[in-house]
Chains A and B, each alone.
Chain A
Amino acid sequence: MTKLNTFEQAVATYEPVLGLETHIELDTNTKMFCGCSTAFGAEPNTQVCPVCLALPGALPVANKAAVEATIKIGLALNCRIAEWTRFARKNYFYPDMPKNFQTSQYEEPLCEDGYVDVVVDGKAYRVEIERVHLEEDTGKTLHVGGTTGRIHGATESLVDYNRAGIPLVEIVTKPVPGTGALAPEVARAYTAELRDIVRSLGVSDVRMEQGSLRCDVNLSLNRPGEEWGTRTETKNVNSLRSVERAVRYEVRRQSALLDAGERIFQETRHFHETTGETSPGRSKEEATDYRYFPEPDLAVMEPSREWVEELRASLPELPRKRRERLQAAWSLGDKEMQSVVNADAVDLIEATVAAGATPSAAVKWWLGELSRRANESGEELAAMRITPAEVAELQGMVDDGRLNDKLARQVIDGVLAGEGSPSDVAAKRGLEVVSDTGALEAAVDEAIAANPAVADKIRGGTHAAAGVLIGAVMKATKGQADAGTVRQIILDKLG
């Protein structure tokens, strides 16, 4: 294995070209071509019927809600909606589809030629969308008999077809050149924006960790002025952070190979969450020829312009508009708002504000302390074990003088460790600001007695010297005193 280049070395020599293919599971009530329920978590093979099992003579009929959802996605991505479109069979022999083909779309996708704008590092990038098409999800396979649970070494596979036939929208970008060293961030920003757009439409819950939004990352490198290189396609990229890491890793890996005079093979690779690396996968079919042909069992679709305009008029507020509205409501500058967006904290802050915190307090917690901890643990902010309501509660306790910043951070430790709500943690850990003035006065008296020289200075008018006594009191109370109150008591006694 060739040694990896650093990312900085790699982008100093090569220009990355990105491409992103995203699959989104729609949250319709029923499957794409039959009336089977799509409810998550059902017993294996209880949501299957002659159509999705491809029993002889079954006739598929397209789900209108899924077609509408796809048109809405296309419209939200600034696409042209086809006036004439049809389904196609993508043929392959693999047991995750009982039909031996997947019903998809080929030359006539529902939506084409759109774009998504993202801002990274203050620079705007337009990611062009090539197509948005409608297809169906595959069944779930479980490989058994091997030691690893993976296919290598497995002796057999067990298949559950509940997921087979759930409507799936595939969104394919055009190649994205010109992102340079920001390629990982642009890939992430695009995926986040796409997710937010689809979520705002209410047509999918777009949960990456649950597989309702799945991302394939295509990447190639070329030297400046040269033709684009051969691309690899990395699958199994299941979080925004992974999108970024997968791009970064492929840039490093491919550049090292190119430096060594080797060539890049067009191949499918798999991303490994634990190591952040990619490894070659095997293809589903020996021939990559899927022998597409028009699906004769499903009628051609001709979305009328009236229908499309009706759907356009029904679009909700899209994320860009919403961000503009929230930025104004929260009185944030462009840069600060961009940090909020990049940290994927818009929803979290909105919910925290809705739970009663001021915008500035909500921004402070999520972008400050909580972002720092998320970075340390390598988690997404939203995946941390603290809810917006808990952050609002925490801030409420600070506002009430029950917690100071230092204690609040300790309370966060407890909440993240699963010890309960902020007030539970404060109670269990005994983390309340000492508001009992009697106790504080006693502590101040002790500090004065222990530091007579300092006390004299303060008596002499050097109020700045109070810091020493405050420090002593804070130490004595294990940080649980309010510094302002302590200062006041000291000055009352000595001033």
Chain B
Amino acid sequence: MSTISREEVAHLARLARLEVTDEELDAFAGQLDVILQSMKTLAEVDTDGVQPTSHAVPLVNVFREDQPQPSLPRDAALAGGPDTFEDRFRVPRILDEEA
């Protein structure tokens, strides 16, 4: 019995704007299920009193000086987007007021 449904995977894919085929939905549901099961196994470990790890390396106060560096050429920057228009990234309409 899957703990994550096909519909949930479809919902997540839509939020992430990923195109997923029906076959992939089944495949991902199965794979995500394995991951979730593994998490459940991990969750059995007693971690009371243990600080959660957020960083693997014990570095603190890593800063840069406020000095401008060259940006990407615009064409190179836009090349990463699925679609562009008038030097901007073009995306499907979004349901919110203007930012």
Contacts and interface: CB of A to CB of B under 8 A. Distances in A.
With a 10 A CB-CB cut-off, give which of B16, B80, B94 has the most chain A CB atoms: B94
Interface residues on B, range: 35 or more
A302 B94 CA distance: 39
A130 to B, nearest CB: 23
B59 interface: yes
B89 A49 contact: no
Contacts of A100: 16
B61 interface: yes
Contacts of A46: 71, 74, 77
Contacts of A143: 93-94, 98
A141 B64 contact: no
B63 A286 contact: no
B93 A30 contact: no
Interface residues on A, range: 35 or more
Contacts of B62: 61-62, 298-299
B64 A64 contact: yes
Given A35-B68, A45-B77, A45-B88, A155 B93 contact: yes
Contacts of A63: 63-64, 66
A61 B64 contact: yes
Contacts, number: 158
Interface string B47-90: 00000101110011111111111111010011010000111111
A158 interface: yes
Contacts of B80: 53, 55
A259 interface: no
A86 interface: yes
B55 A62 contact: no
Contact of B89 (A28, A61, A86, A95): A95
Contacts of B71: 36-37, 46-49
A236 B96 CA distance: 13
Contact of B98 (A49, A151, A155, A295): A151
Interface in A106-160: 138-143, 145, 149-151, 154-160
A294 B53 CA distance: 9
Interface string B14-57: 01110000000000000000000000000000000000101110
Contacts of B1: none
A284 B74 CA distance: 28
A185 to B, nearest CB: 28
B92 A157 contact: yes
Interface string A83-106: 000100000011110001000000
Given A37-B68, A45-B87, 12 more contacts: A28-B66, A45-B77, A63-B63, A64-B64, A65-B66, A138-B99, A155-B93, A160-B88, A235-B97, A284-B96, A299-B59, A303-B61
